[in-house]
Amino acid sequence: MILAAANTFRAGLVQLRSGRAIARNMEMAEALIRRAAAEGAVYVQTPENTSIMELETDRLLSAIDTEGKSEPLRQLQALAKELGIWLHVGSLAMKLPSGKVANRSYLITPQGEIAARYDKLHMFDVDLAGGESYRESRNFDPGNKAVLADLPWGRLGLSICYDLRFPALYRALASAGADIIAVPAAFTKQTGEAHWRVLLRARAIETGAYVLAAAQGGLHENGRSTYGHSMIVSPWGEVLAEAGEDPQILLADIDLGLSAETRAKIPSLKHGREFEVEIGGAKLPPKREGS
């Protein structure tokens, strides 16, 4: 371990360009995870869709399995145990009893055990300029709960990609004690160029938490282009490290004392208030900031 203090650690992000071949994707992911660990990372995060990037329903369902039979998950659990690291798998596609798929994050302990699972809450259903169209809900069932987990250095809040556009989720995670927030992603190139950087910085500033976001980048076999630019952002909104578009690792030393200092300077998490919403004299049910 590079740093000695109890609330400091080295984080590593793995940027990928996953395709349709799971074995090839896993080979690249493993090589980069090993490199990050060799550089002193004790927490390593991979992006959304680590094992496969596939839009066609039949191709996706024929390539994946249920959690109990997932070879990529078993392989990553073994790797975390071998390297003695906390391995945060941004997401794997898992078959569900409903016939659809879960877009599921896994936090794996240095003993190779699953410490937390998180199913992506918000589905990316959108038509973009230029003819791009995505219907994530066609293949995936959304999750129904926010998830946090305790690392040796602090509390981690889990999210995935499109969740980034829903600030109430991040306020809820921070209010529940998260001083690190993960946003593994496969942001489209078009929306990423416009919004990725500013949204990550905004979530860090709003919550006073570190934001760690491993991303997919480049042109994929299925024809989709993702933005890349994996990023580590401080609680003050400073970009500590940023990748380009190609597969690579990103490293930064995280000092969670900075999260406590930032929240002491700007204690907005304590200042949320209940308020009414009025439209033309008619009042809607009371709301509370962050809910």
Alpha carbons 177 and 29: distance in angstroms, whole number = 30
Q: What is the DSSP letter of 129?
A: T
Whether 148 contacts 178, CB under 8 Å: yes
Give catalytic residues, as residue numbers. Answer: 48, 120, 161
The answer to whether the beta carbons of residues 200 and 164 sit under 8 Å apart is: yes
3-state secondary structure of 234: coil
- Buried-state track 56-82, b at ≥16 Cβ within 10 A, e below 16: eeeebbeebeeeeebebbebbbebbbe
Q: How far apart are CA 92 and CA 98, in angstroms?
A: 17
Residues with Cβ within 8 Å of residue 74, at least 6 apart in sequence:
none
Residue 267 per-residue DSSP state: -
Distance, CA of 88 to CA of 105 (rounded, Å): 7
Answer positive or negative: Cα dihedral of 180, 184, 190, 191.
Answer: negative
Asked whether the beta carbons of 197 and 244 are under 8 A apart, the reply is: no
Measure the CA–CA gap between 171 and 59, rounded to whole angstroms.
37
> φ, ψ for residue 35 (rounded to 5)?
-65, -45
For 9-288, the fitting CATH number among 1.10.287.70, 3.20.20.70, 3.50.30.30, 3.60.110.10 is: 3.60.110.10
Domain map of the chain by residue range?
Answer: 9-288
Q: DSSP H helical segments within 51-99, as ranges?
A: 57-63, 71-83
The pLDDT value recorded for residue 5 is: 64
Torsion of CA 87, 91, 92, 95, to 10 degrees: 130
pLDDT in the model for residue 6: 86
Q: Which of 130, 135, 194, 140 minimizes the C-alpha distance to 164?
A: 194
Q: What is the pLDDT along the chain (291 residues), one digit of tens a residue?
A: 344 468 999 999 999 999 999 999 999 999 999 999 999 999 999 999 999 999 899 999 999 999 999 999 999 999 999 999 999 999 999 999 999 999 999 999 999 999 999 999 999 887 766 666 678 888 999 999 999 999 999 999 999 999 999 999 999 999 999 999 999 999 999 999 999 999 999 999 999 999 999 999 999 998 899 999 999 999 999 999 999 999 999 999 999 999 999 999 999 999 988 899 999 989 888 877 655
Tens digit of pLDDT for each residue in 198-249?
Answer: 999 999 999 999 999 999 999 999 889 999 999 999 999 999 999 999 999 9
